[in-house]
């Protein structure tokens, strides 16, 4: 007998998000970070030195996941819920 149990997780309705001009399917209730990671996006931004960055803490304290969302720069992807039609652009050159 296993000590683990399967959770009954239900995904929200599908939504379309545009990431750097490409369509990505996400689900209502997901954060932008979760949706992008699920879609295979593993680089969210590049520092001014050109180093790649991606979500680290998933609770809003590290700022490694910042993106431009609907024209608002430095938006924390781990705290921002997706919505249909959202436009996301990865940051380049942020410290």
Residue 94 lies in a domain: no
Domain with residue 30: its CATH number is: 3.10.20.440
Q: Name the 3-class secondary structure at 32.
A: helix
**Helix runs in 3-42, H state only:** 32-38
The model's pTM is 0.86
- Cβ count near 91 (within 10 Å): 17
Beta bridge partners, 67, equal 75, 90
**Does residue 77 form part of some domain?**
yes
Domain count, the chain: 1
Domain annotation covers residue 18 = yes
Range of 24's domain?
Answer: 13-89
**94 and 66 Cβ atoms separated by less than 8 Å:** yes
Q: What is the pLDDT of residues 20-75, one digit of tens each?
A: 999 999 999 999 999 999 999 999 999 888 899 999 999 999 999 999 999 999 99
The answer as to whether 6 is a domain residue is no
pLDDT tens, 66-83? 999 999 999 999 999 999
């Amino acid at each position: 007998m296993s000590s683990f149990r399967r959770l009954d997780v239900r995904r929200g309705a599908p939504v379309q998000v545009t990431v750097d001009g490409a369509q990505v399917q996400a689900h209502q209730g997901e954060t932008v970070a979760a949706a992008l990671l699920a879609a295979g996006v593993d680089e969210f931004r590049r520092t001014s030195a050109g180093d790649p960055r991606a979500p680290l803490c998933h609770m809003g304290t590290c700022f490694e996941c910042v993106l431009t969302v609907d024209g608002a720069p430095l938006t924390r992807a781990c705290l921002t819920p997706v919505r249909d039609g959202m436009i996301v652009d990865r940051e380049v050159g942020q410290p």
